[in-house]
Structure 1
Amino acid sequence: MKQDFLYLQISNNLAQLIRKEVLKAGDRLPSVRKLCHEHNISMNTAKKVYLELEGQSLIESIPQSGYFVSQLPHKRLPLPETSKPSQISSNKEPDEMISKVYLNMGRKDLTLFSIGVPSDELLPLAGLNKEIMHATRQLRDSGAGYEALQGNEKLRKIIAARSISWGGSLHENDLVTTAGGMNALAFCMMAVAKPGDTIAIESPVYPGILQLAGSIGLKVLELPTHPSTGIKIEALKKAIHKIDLCLLVTNFSTPLGSCMPDENKKEVVALLAKHNIPLIEDDLYGDLYFGSHRPKCCKSFDKNGTVLLCSSVSKTLAPGYRVGWVAPGRYKEQILKLKLAHAISSPTLTQEAVANYLKSGRYENHLRKLRKTLYSNYQHYAHTISQHFPEGTKTSRPQGGLTLWVELPKKIDTTALYNLAIKHKISIAPGRMFTLQNQYENCMRLGIGLTWSEELRSKLIQIGRLAKMML
């Protein structure tokens, strides 16, 4: 009886601290063991404290990371509505804005909210440096020679073994390595399509995909997309006779952070297979989940070899190493021919270094820390935006990944906001970059892969102030 009263007393005290925002969204709470020590209570009582707070939606549990303060319900911003792009394919590529934003990459004088990769501080650079040195000594030619066309065998074995985590059963011979994820997507597009074909994609979508499709001469059909669950399957069904291929980022897409439910993935794979339409699946962000388990891939439902799964370590480990891969299914021969013609070989040294790092087991530890940090960052962003951005602002609620989608009031043009922000040494990614149509002018993507600090918080507040000025 005393223990029951005690757990309610402790949980009520913590709840008050959270509601008064002494403990803020994204803050990490003491471990169960530490809570036991601090309050001289049993493990069961400590667990009941956190169960009570979870039941009130005040805290959230991240497996193997701990308990964190949730975004308070009364502070939670509305979710953007499902996108409504025109169902007519178009090619009005926002080249100038894309170039302007991405030319900022690597600039140390800017706060780069515009870039969707983890900052250097969140990457295991020392460990990777050691693996590069080790690979130089280990490889017969010190890494200076060509790798086999299909790619580093050790790396392919490890990737195949890891496919179990998303419901796959790949073999090393099912994989071809590439120079990063975009290289994999390019080979896939060229393997299954020809100029003039129509590709169906999410909307909004990563600008690089739009540019890549345009460079190959493809028409783009943007599909209505929900910010939490991905494309609307009914819209895909209606467009099925207009399209020749489909490309989807099914797990934590950029910029929305949407994650397609497993039943939707299964239905999409069956629908496209029925019409013999290839699906290129871009799974760059699948390992960056905030929940209890990694989501499945469409590839896990592929029975006919029509799904070409692409991925890389660019968003989780080493963007500059350019180590990617594709499981191309029935299109393997076409992919190998394209790789021979366009690349001959993947980078030998970095493939070996990544393979060794993955094999060591340190990658899983790194991912756990990275996921915890990204989730905490998301909570900090959401909390700051809810306090300092204009009334009527909406945000996505990503369950993983590296980005947050922000929809501002209609009067605010985020291209103009970008021009204002850059004067304050802040770079954002305006929404018009993520479409070929005249839409999302009042939206922007913010990267959550930066190291959170009071300085970063002040920069985010500055964006909110500038947005309010525009009203």
Structure 2
Amino acid sequence: MKRYEQLAELLAADIRTGRLAPGTRLPSIRTITAQHGLSASTAFKAYYQLEEKGLVRAQTRSGYYVTALAAQQLAAPARGAADGKPGKASARAAATVAQRPDVSELVFSVLGAAQEPGMVPLGSAFASPGLFPLQRLGKSLARTSRFLQGPDTVASLPRGDEALRRQIAQRYLGMGMAQPAEELIVTHGALEALNLCLAAVAQPGDLIAVESPGFYASLQALERLKMKALEIPVHPQDGLDLAALADALKRRPVKACWFMTSFQNPTGASLPLEKKKALVALLASHDIPLIEDDVYAELYFGSRGFLPAKAFDRKGLVMHCSSFSKTLAPGYRVGWVSPGRFGQQIERLRLMTTLSASLPAQLAVADYLQYGGYDKHLRKLRHAMESQLSSLLAALARHFPAGVRVSRPAGGYFVWVEFAEGFDALALHQAALAQGISVAPGPIFSARRNFRHCLRLNYGYPWSDGYEAAMQTLGGLARRQSPYR
């Protein structure tokens, strides 16, 4: 029996005896490796095996927990074993595994491991907090909170603070498109906006076109709402495959689309303006709504930003979602949606769920946008991101195997790395964790867990000797896998 199998059996025995009761958190990877003298890769294999059996479940940024049915599955008699048929307990475990969301558990596992202290966060979904003007923003929060009056706390529900909506509308004008402030709805981050849009235009069982590879949160939203994903290919340089989308719309009953048209996560790809126009025209011809995730819009390199697909919408079919989480204040969770014709549905869903984003956070962001020098901050942030991208690309060229393909984004803070077929990015992820490095393996960006030979790297942190060493280590780990030996 292999060492990870021995560890898995040991933990299963603790579950069987009740020492690890349902709901109990398992030891962290760091703790389990120290206790048993194992590598992080071995510990992960053990936890993955327990997860596949339905005995434990990963929770984002928290760890692994014993499932409610785990003890029952292990304790139940194995009836049917004599004639080679599965017993009731094993059949129930198999059904539990088969019915679990396909992507969420893997996403939680990968992202949870990346939160371990001391990790080099190449797999992170965030930029360095040190790049944001948090002290200056804190002054705006203190000043606006001091003057907050009782009636103000409910006056802006549920569309959001009027001053903030005016500031957002001005930024639309700066992009070259008009957006009435009264139509905007402020949300608890862009993710709430995206989920509200999806719930407003589709029902359980509906087919939703998503990107492949695509943002894992879109796949998780479909899983939660019991909708189906139709994956449309994305090229790391050219973006969404419009021909494939057009063919899919002819053949399949697509209810809505969820796409990132600029600086797509995970590839960094952007659709050229003509393709954005063509995308909007194509969807308009089928009367299909587009949920446009545009959170990286203002992180462009060069002198001019990218217009969103929303700029070409004439039928109100495009719901444009964005936030300040990627550019200004990650923890403040202030996002918004320009809802098109679906404003009433989204607003009513909002009233039935979270009601409103935090008013103090809204006021602080509005104050900073007006008085804090947001555009100056953005110029500095873009320069930092572009410099960090150059450093990452140079390190990839120095340390990674020849023939590896890498995207060249014009903004955002992700690159997409594609190895030869047969490469195992999940194995690289596990080996890298043992060296204190996180990466984001390709399967978390696909409803079918495709792209096993790919990974996403984050360049949102200032370059340092530690990052250079981490890239050298990653390159060495990659070379150990066939065909790079």
Q: TM-score, normalised by structure 1?
A: 0.78
The AA in structure 2 aligned to 1:205 is G
Provide structure 2 residue ranges, at least 5 long, that are not aligned to the other structure.
1-99
CA deviations on 1:397-442 (whole Å, 9 max, x unpaired) are 1010010111122232010111111111111100000001242101
Match of 1:301 among 291, 301, 312: 312
Give the aligned partner of residue 400 of structure 1: 411
1:179 has 2:185 as partner: no
Give the aligned partner of residue 155 of structure 1: 164
Give the aligned partner of residue 129 of structure 1: 138
Give the aligned partner of residue 8 of structure 1: none
Give the aligned partner of residue 325 of structure 1: 336
Is the CA contact (8 Å cut-off) linking 1:392 and 1:408 kept in structure 2? yes
Is the CA contact (8 Å cut-off) linking 1:151 and 1:177 kept in structure 2? yes
1:339 has 2:350 as partner: yes
Counterpart of 1:397 in 2: which secondary structure?
coil
Is the CA contact (8 Å cut-off) linking 1:132 and 1:353 kept in structure 2? yes
Give the aligned partner of residue 256 of structure 1: 267
Between the aligned partners of 2:238 and 2:364, the Cα distance in structure 1 is: 36
Between the aligned partners of 2:275 and 2:395, the Cα distance in structure 1 is: 33
Is the CA contact (8 Å cut-off) linking 1:160 and 1:170 kept in structure 2? yes
Between the aligned partners of 1:261 and 1:166, the Cα distance in structure 2 is: 15
How much has 1:217 moved relative to structure 2? 1.4
Superposed CA RMSD in Å reads 1.8
How much has 1:166 moved relative to structure 2? 2.8
Match of 1:413 among 424, 439, 455: 424
1:211 has 2:220 as partner: yes
Is the CA contact (8 Å cut-off) linking 2:232 and 2:240 kept in structure 1? yes
Between the aligned partners of 1:227 and 1:470, the Cα distance in structure 2 is: 23
The AA in structure 2 aligned to 1:158 is Q
Counterpart of 1:201 in 2: which secondary structure?
strand
Match of 1:436 among 447, 450, 453: 447
Give the aligned partner of residue 20 of structure 2: none
Counterpart of 1:292 in 2: which secondary structure?
coil
Counterpart of 2:230 in 1: which secondary structure?
strand
Match of 1:244 among 252, 255, 258: 255
Between the aligned partners of 2:362 and 2:114, the Cα distance in structure 1 is: 24
Match of 1:446 among 425, 441, 457: 457
Between the aligned partners of 1:222 and 1:382, the Cα distance in structure 2 is: 28
Give the aligned partner of residue 200 of structure 2: 191
Percent same amino acid among aligned pairs? 39
CA deviations on 1:170-200 (whole Å, 9 max, x unpaired) are 0111100100011000000000111111111
How much has 1:93 moved relative to structure 2? 2.4
Between the aligned partners of 2:433 and 2:188, the Cα distance in structure 1 is: 32
Counterpart of 2:480 in 1: which secondary structure?
helix
Counterpart of 2:369 in 1: which secondary structure?
helix
CA deviations on 1:50-97 (whole Å, 9 max, x unpaired) are xxxxxxxxxxxxxxxxxxxxxxxxxxxxxxxxxxxxxxxxx9723332
Between the aligned partners of 1:207 and 1:110, the Cα distance in structure 2 is: 21
CA deviations on 1:76-124 (whole Å, 9 max, x unpaired) are xxxxxxxxxxxxxxx9723332112222465431111111221011111
Aligned length, in residue pairs = 382
Between the aligned partners of 1:260 and 1:361, the Cα distance in structure 2 is: 32
Match of 1:282 among 275, 293, 304: 293
Give the aligned partner of residue 232 of structure 1: 241
How much has 1:291 moved relative to structure 2? 2.1
Moved over 3 A (4+): 104-108, 141-147
Match of 1:165 among 148, 167, 174: 174
Between the aligned partners of 2:277 and 2:386, the Cα distance in structure 1 is: 27
Between the aligned partners of 1:265 and 1:167, the Cα distance in structure 2 is: 15
